[in-house]
A and B are shown apart, each in its own frame.
Chain A
Amino acid sequence: MYVAVKGGEAAIANAHKLLGDRRRGNRDLPSITLDQLVGQLSLAVDRVMAEASLYAPHLAALAVKQARGDMIEAIFLLRAYRTTLPRFGASRPVETGEMVAERRVSATFKDLPGGQVLGPTFDYTHRLLDPELAGDGEVEAALLSETDGEPLMRVTDILAHEDIIESSRGAGGDTPLPEEPSGDLTREPLEFPMQRDQRLQALARGDEGFLLSLGYSTQRGYGRTHPFVGEIRMGEVEVELDVPELGFAVSLGTIKVTECQMVTQFAGSAKAPPQFTRGYGLVFGQSERKAMSMALVDRALRADEFGEDRLAPAQDEEFVISHSDNVQATGFVEHLKLPHYVDFQAELDLVRRMRGEFEAREAASLETDNASREAAE
């Protein structure tokens, strides 16, 4: 027999009212504005956009505010919002080579064309809390220097001239590129094994912490690839859309992205000379930790391509991709706190019956023991 139980409407309504109150906090203080979040907590906004897989800074800021700063809740909110919108189309691939870069560094070449441009980085800061920031003191404007106009050449292109790194266009570097990705995770269910383009789509929206840990695991020996940061660049790229009613592509504006080209250990065979291989990361917003982790995991997941043994978690496509989405993960973990009264009653009943049977068996064996002892006496 199953008896449905209802109730809790008033408690839920009141709980949400309490949530609203706690979210607002002290009414003597001004409510935080979305422009403040976009401007001053921009990396939090960027992370929400990246993992929600929706580039929309003000909506992401609203999600952060509504979620009281809970990033995964904010990501969940923005994901849910995106399902309400129609799809107008797909852009032309963004050209990261033409990025207006705020930052570009390479760990492989000191003097590369365009140079080492540090940009707004936490690197080389002393990680000491700055009491000045507790107040609202004047902040100096950034310094300006004249640019030398030198284009920011890709490190992978520098190496490609010697044919010493794998080409994105296959061995020989002349395989034609497909026009379209092989699939879209937002439209078709996951199927394994995946194509690399679909893995990258999953990794681009994957949880930063999860990918960071997996990337770290490859460095510690669980699927080692001996990586170097060929290049990291961060800045604005133009998004262009082919508009059928116009017959040409228009620019929709620019988005900020972070790209990481990881140069990794060699592959080669009896037929092909040894070559560096590559891992790739591209993420919405400013997040090089995520872009680097993504590149490490992308490379680890290419084990089969290079004939490497798949022994480590980071090399296991089904494990990595199935668990990288934090909205899915939090949904399944957090559902455990919802009422499971009936399930649990069934388990309780089962345990009691098993214990009953156990006790009966114990009692029976005790009687047999006693009987045999008496017989012996």
Chain B
Amino acid sequence: MTERVDAASPADVPGGDLKLLMDVLAAAPRAEIEACVAALGDLPEAVPVRGPETGLVMVRGRIGGDGAPFNLGEAAVTRASVRLADGSVGHAYALGQDRAKASLSARLAAAWVQGDLRSEIETLVRDPLMATRAAEVSQVKREAAATKVEFFTMVRGDD
């Protein structure tokens, strides 16, 4: 594992930096990942171990938002696993039905695990994708903030 300390990825989060990479690959649209990978150059050759395949994940909620779990409904999820020549394995899981994205994400994860391109993957793929996601979240929050009610009190009559 790297020595790097990231505020968004405390060392005690299970999965650490690999999780950080996989999470942002799941959230990003394929075209964006492809654009980042283009800057990265060639990824090592990989053979598929499983998938890409689309299946279901039962999404759970909590009763009352904070109580016992219940089954809310399923979501379509696509996953892929690949192996590199040296045996490094990469996995990808993401909502949706995009198999090409799952394969590409699994190759990136495998290359990250293998290590030669780790810092390039982090700076050229992971970090820009995370920045875009953060900007999207900020946009949604600011749009919502503009619709926040400012209450004021009307004083009627003389006192």
Give me the interface of A with B, judged by CB distance under 8 Å: 49-50, 53-56, 58-59, 82, 85-97, 100-103, 110-111, 115-120, 142-148, 154, 156-157, 168-169, 177-181, 184-186, 196-198, 200-201, 204-205, 235-236, 239, 241, 243, 245-255, 257, 259, 261, 278, 280, 282, 284
- Residue numbers of B with Cβ under 8 A of A are 14-15, 18-19, 22-23, 26-27, 53-77, 79, 81, 91, 93-97, 137, 139-149, 151
* Given the contacts A50-B73, A117-B145, A204-B72, A249 and B15 also touching, CB distance less than 8 Å: yes
Q: How far is the CA of A119 from the CA of B141 in the complex (A)?
A: 10
Residue of A nearest to B143 (CB): A142
Tell me the complex Cα distance, A117–B147, Å.
Answer: 6
Which B-chain residue is minimally distant from A50 (CB atoms)?
B73
Known: A91-B59, A181-B69, A239-B57. A111 touches B95 (CB 8 A): no
Contacts of A102 in B (CB 8 A): 140, 143-144
B57 partner residues in chain A, CB cutoff 8 A: 87-91, 239, 241, 252
For the complex with contacts A146-B142, A254-B95, 15 further pairs of A-B residues with Cβ separation under 8 Å are: A88-B77, A94-B61, A117-B144, A144-B143, A145-B146, A177-B69, A196-B68, A197-B71, A250-B19, A250-B22, A251-B27, A252-B95, A255-B59, A261-B65, A280-B63
Q: How far is the CB of B76 from chain A (nearest CB, A)?
A: 4
The minimal Cβ–Cβ distance linking A155 to chain B, given in whole angstroms, is 10
Q: Which residues of B contact A144 (CB under 8 A)?
A: 139, 142-143, 145-146
Would you call B145 and A248 a contact (CB within 8 A)?
Answer: no
Q: Which residue of A lies closest to B62 (CB)?
A: A93
Closest residue to B74 on the A side, CB-wise?
A54
Chain B contacts of A252 at CB under 8 A?
26, 57, 75, 77, 93-95
- B64 with A168: CB separation less than 8 A: yes
Given A197-B69, A284-B73, A93:B61 Cβ within 8 A? yes
Choose from A55, A95, A120, A236 the contact partner of B76 (Cβ within 8 Å): A55
Contact B68 A181 (CB under 8 A): yes
A243 touches B91 (CB 8 A): yes
Taking the nearest CB of chain B, how far is it from the CB of A337, in angstroms? Answer: 30
- Residue ID in chain B nearest A101 by CB atoms: B144
The answer to whether B70 touches A201, judged by C-beta atoms less than 8 angstroms apart, is yes
Give the tally of cross-chain contacts (CB within 8 A): 237
B14: chain A residues at CB < 8 Å are 247-249
Which residues of chain B come closer than 8 Å to A116, judged between CB atoms?
148-149
Task: Give the residues in chain A near B27, CB-CB below 8 Å.
Answer: 251, 253-254
Q: Which residue of B lies closest to A235 (CB)?
A: B140
Q: Which A residues are in CB contact (< 8 Å) with B15?
A: 246-250
In the complex, which of the residues A91, A110, A119, A255 contacts B58, with contact meaning CB atoms closer than 8 Å? A91
- From B19, B93, B96, name the one whose CB has the most chain A CB atoms within 10 angstroms: B93
Residue of A nearest to B28 (CB): A253
User: Roughly how many angstroms separate A197 CA and B61 CA in the complex, as a whole number?
Assistant: 10
Let me know if B70 and A200 touch, CB within 8 A: yes
Given contacts A93-B60, A252-B57, A280-B65, contact A119 B144 (CB under 8 A): yes
Minimum CB–CB distance for A301 against chain B, Å: 13
Contacting pair A181 B71 (CB below 8 A): yes
Set B65, B69, B76, B91: member contacting A245, Cβ < 8 A: B91
Q: How far is the CA of A110 from the CA of B151 in the complex (A)?
A: 9
Q: Give Cα A284 to B65, complex, Å.
A: 14
